[in-house]
Structure formats: C-alpha cells, structure tokens
Amino acid sequence: MDKELVLVIDFGGQYNQLIARRVRECNVYCEVIPNSYSIDEIKNKNPKGIIFTGGPSSVYEENAPTISKEIFELGIPVLGICYGAQLTAHLLGGSVKKGDKREYGKTKIHYKDSMLFYGIEKENICWMSHTDAIYEIPEGFEITAYTDDCPIAAMENKEKNLYAVQFHPEVEHTNDGFKVIENFLVNICNLKGTWTTKSFIDESIEYIRKKVGDKKVLCALSGGVDSSVAAVLVHKAIGDNLTCMFVDHGLLRKNEGDEVESIFKDTFNMNLIRINAKDRFLDRLKGVVDPEQKRKIIGEEFIRVFEEESKKIGKIDYLVQGTIYPDVIESGGDKGTASVIKSHHNVGGLPEDIDFEIIEPLRKLFKDEVRKVGLELGIPKDLIFRHPFPGPGLGIRVLGEVTDEKLEILKEADYIYRQELKKAGLDKEIWQAFAVLPDVKTVGVMGDERTYSYLIGLRAISSSDGMTGDWYRIPYDVLEKISIRIVNEVPNVNRVVYDITSKPPSTIEWE
C-alpha cells in the first residue's frame, strides 16, 4: 500500500515530538528518526515529505549533526526548521554565522508570497529561538520572510521543493504556525491526509492477522489504558487465540488487583488469567536501591512470569504489550541514539533472551492517540480516561529499597490522596496523580511527643501525552485536607510535601 509517510529527522531539538504531533493532527502519519539514518534507509521508507528539526548545535562547528547532501536530490520535499533551516543553507552552499542579535520568543515577522505561507496574514507573529542565522542563501533559493533582526527568516527553492524557516511553526506561540505545516503537507507534498483512527485500526487488524495466522498469542494486560486498547485490538483480529495475562506483582495500588480482574471480566469477553507473583518480585528487589536496576529487574521478572505461566496453557508464540511511543522515546529511541531518560520496563528494561516474539500495535502512538483508538473500539470511557500507571508500579514510587512496610504506607497514603481528588472533582482534570514515599525520615511532633517518621510526596500533572507536563495547581484547601488525612490516618508518616516541578526539568515519576 502506498502509505503517506512523512519523516521528521531529529537534530536534537526540544520540540521534535511537537512537530510529529502537528503532522499527525493533519491526518498524515509520521515518524521521528535519528539523523544517523543513511540515505538508503530513508529511501526505503518511501517518505512523501521530510522535515528537519531544530537542535542546540551550530552547523559550522566540528561534529555538528548533519546529513548527506543527497537528501536534497531525492525529489522529496524538505522543510528545515531552525537548525534544520540553517543546515539546509550550510549544505547547499549558503552561509550560516553567529547572529549579531539573538532572537528568542515572540517576534514580528513579514511573510512574502509563498505556497508555504498560503492563506496566512503577511504581517504576523512567530516564535524564534536562535543565535545563529543564515547570512547568504544557496543558489536557486529566494528569501520568503524577514524580521527586524533576521533578514532571512525563511527561504525556498520552489523548483526543488526545498523550504526552510528560521522560526518554529510547531509551537503554539507562532500564529498560524500549524497552517504553515499544513501548507507544507498539503500544498507542497500533495498529501491527502488519510491517516485516521479508523484507518489505523483497520490496518493494524490486517497486519496482526497476517503476522499471527492461527498461532496463539499472550497479551500482557495491566488493566491500564494502553494494554487494554492493545488487547481489544488484537482480540478483534484473532479472537480466542488471544489470552490476556495480568500479573499482580505486589506493586499495585490499594485494591487494584481485584478491581482490574473484575472490571475486565465484566466488560470484556476475553480469556484472562491473573497471576499472583508478589513474593518473587519483592525477593528480587531486596536490597536494590538504584532506580534503573529496579526497572530492569521488574522488566525481566515480568517476562519470566509470562514465560513460565504461558507454558501451562500450551505453546505461545507471541507476546502483545501495550507499549506506546513515549515509552520508546524515553528508553532511548528505536535506534538507541536519543539519551536514555529512564528504561521503561517494557522497552529498555526488557531482557535480551525472550521466548516470544513481541507485538506492539501501539508502539508508534502517543497517549491521546491511543485513547482515541480505544474510544473508536468501543472501550468504556472510564477505562480510557484512567490515569496512567507505570508497569513497575509502586516499585519506582517507593524510592530506594522496596519493602513490605514501605509499600503498605505508600498504598494507604496514595489511596487517601486519590480519594480526596475524586471527592473534589479534580481527578478527571488532572492527567496523572500519585503519592511517592522518599527514603527519608523527618522529625515531627504529635500529641506533644517527638516523632521521627516518613514523609509523603504528592504529584499531580497536567499533560496531554506525558512527554511534557506542568504541575497541577490543586487548591490549598484540598491539599490541606489531604495532608491532614494522610498524617492522621497513615501510621509512620508525619509530613506531606507537594511537588511543584514541571517536566522538563523533572520527570513525572520520581525514579
């Protein structure tokens, strides 16, 4: 099938994922790939358009990320953004130097006639973030936009379909920025935008049927959004050849094991096996304090449980996981070039020797896209809009060594916290909320007596995809109620703190 694909080539920019999202919002499928891909690898993917991202380097420095000049000769339209624009100029014989003035933030811009700026006000506002600038354009190009401090804010070679913008069309602060991207896709790449939730579902079902045939498949089911959507999708494709396995590793929230089991049995008509494996997980975590090591142990133990338990139900060839795009990106990306933020248990935390071939139908989707697929598949809203819960569970929310005692404390505190958010009607507005138990004790006074007990950290995040996020402003009176209840009701806790850092620079989970 001649699928419409756009490749976003990563030069290390902060907004790369945003570019990908904007393209997908135009119903065009796109993937972010590292700049280390060879021209042949790129050609093999048969993209209909290419976008170069921004990046922190300067093109004239030694070892600055680059790409072969051949990319401009493939006959595929290219849009360079910021660093990507400068790289286009640099590679094709223009010049790039450090600018006299850096431009940062909202900037007035003047657009000239161009297919890229079709239907957009000429006098406009864009968002800039650069120190370097294009000083001379390459042969065959013309200047198509300027600002007070940047005479070459956009350039193009119409004949060769090469376009470059110094500003960032992908961020909301650029008025009509999304329109610039749409113009590139529609007017320049001639794309129709046929990638929809429905087409994704149809293609996935076809792919899974073809791949699996009549072999047996196991689905790692957590009861969370991603694996539930993955399970329903695979079930649609292969029916009862699918068995779902839910592992209770003892690191679940209060009552969660029973809840997942009953929701799943009541809602779906699928085979479900629950495995209680608390002891083996806690045994392996004994004495382990390093977060990455904890993640890897949990990731491996999951697989070992699946291997052992699946033998009891016959020969299983495939394992379905609800891995999504951010899991892959944060674990270092598909080619391992991005930096490893943390090893998600289901990606970077996987052992190397696995008895199954892994199928991950949602591997390229962002969370909000997964939710749309879930709704289209008819999964109840309550499940689709559940807060995400990481596979390693409380194992990475009890900071440092995981013990039974600490797990019990955290479960109670987390339960109270989420209960109060629900009562205040905030749970649906917040993207994800949870408590953590740092490995710290502090001094307090209760009933006139000194205490030396644990503290609880509270986290609440607003986000759309978990890639970035801001801390949610919970009203003080709600926080107060939560704090009083936790300290009064949870033994061995004498202090509650609220996490007021966004992502970045923090991550959502503390480990």
Ligand X SMILES: Nc1ncnc2c1ncn2[C@@H]1O[C@H](COP(=O)(O)OP(=O)(O)OP(=O)(O)O)[C@@H](O)[C@H]1O
Q: Do 349 and 213 contact (CB within 8 A), yes or no?
A: no
Respond yes or no: is residue 82 known to be catalytic. Answer: yes
Binding mask 297-336 for ligand X (x = CB under 6 A): ------------------------xxx---x---------
Burial class (CB in 10 A: 0-12, 13-18, 19+), 79: buried
Residue number, 130 or 344, with CB nearest to ligand X: 344
How would DSSP label each residue in 49-107? Answer: EEEE---SS-TTSTT-----GGGGGSS--EEEETHHHHHHHHHTT-EEEEEEEEEEEEE
The site for ligand XMP, by CB under 6 A, has a size of 18
Tokens of 449: 């007596």
Specify the residue, 33 or 225, whose C-beta has the smaller distance to ligand X: 225
By C-beta, is 181 or 230 nearer to ligand GLN? 181
d(CA 262, CA 418): 20
- State yes or no: residue 392 binds ligand GLN (CB under 6 A): no
What would the x/- binding string for ligand GLN be over residues 111 to 140, using CB under 6 A? ------------------xxxx--------
Q: Does 247 bind ligand X (CB under 6 A)?
A: yes
> Using the rule CB under 6 A, is 151 a contact of ligand GLN?
no
Cis check for the bond before 34: say yes or no (omega within 30 of 0): no
The rounded Cα 340 to chain-centroid distance in angstroms is: 13
Nearest CA to 234 among 373, 433, 438?
373
Contact status: 379 vs ligand X (CB under 6 A): no
Helix (H) / strand (E) containing 357: strand 357-359
Nearest CB to ligand XMP, comparing residues 327 and 412: 327
**225 binds ligand X per the rule CB under 6 A:** yes
172 given a catalytic annotation: no
For residue 422, what is the DSSP state?
A: H
- Amino acid identity at 360: E
Residue pair 467/431 in contact by the 8 Å Cβ criterion: no
Candidates 90, 103, 130, 168; catalytic one: 168
Amino acid type, 35: N
The yes or no reply on residue 22 touching ligand XMP (CB under 6 A) is: no
User: Which of residues 57, 187, 197, 271 is near ligand GLN by CB under 6 A?
Assistant: 57
168 catalytic residue (yes or no): yes
Per CB under 6 A, 222 contacts ligand X: yes
Select the residue interacting with ligand XMP from 22, 295, 296, 364 (CB under 6 A): 295
Binding site for Mg ion (CB under 5 A): 222, 224, 389
Q: Is 58 known to sit in a ligand binding site? A: no
Catalytically annotated residue among 170, 182, 301, 412:
170
The single-letter code of the amino acid at 132 is D
- Check whether 228 is labelled as a binding-site residue: yes
- What's the DSSP call for residue 456? E
Nearer to ligand XMP by C-beta: 10 or 330?
A: 330
Could you give the C-alpha distances from 419 to 414, 416, 457, 481, 486, in angstroms and in order? 8, 5, 16, 11, 11
Tokens, residue 129: 């973030």
Binding mask 69-108 for ligand GLN (x = CB under 6 A): -------------xx-------------------------
Sheet holding 154-157, edge to edge: 29-34, 5-10, 49-52, 78-81, 162-165, 154-157, 142-146, 95-111, 123-136
| Catalytic residue list | 82, 168, 170
Instruction: Please give the residue ranges that form the binding site for ligand GLN (CB under 6 A).
Output: 13, 54-58, 82-83, 129-132
Instruction: Please give the residue ranges that form the binding site for ligand XMP (CB under 6 A).
Output: 295, 327, 330, 341-342, 344-346, 388, 390-392, 432, 466, 503, 507-509
Instruction: Please give the residue ranges that form the binding site for ligand X (CB under 6 A).
Output: 220-222, 224-227, 246-247, 249, 321-323, 327, 346, 386, 388-391
Binding residues are 222-228
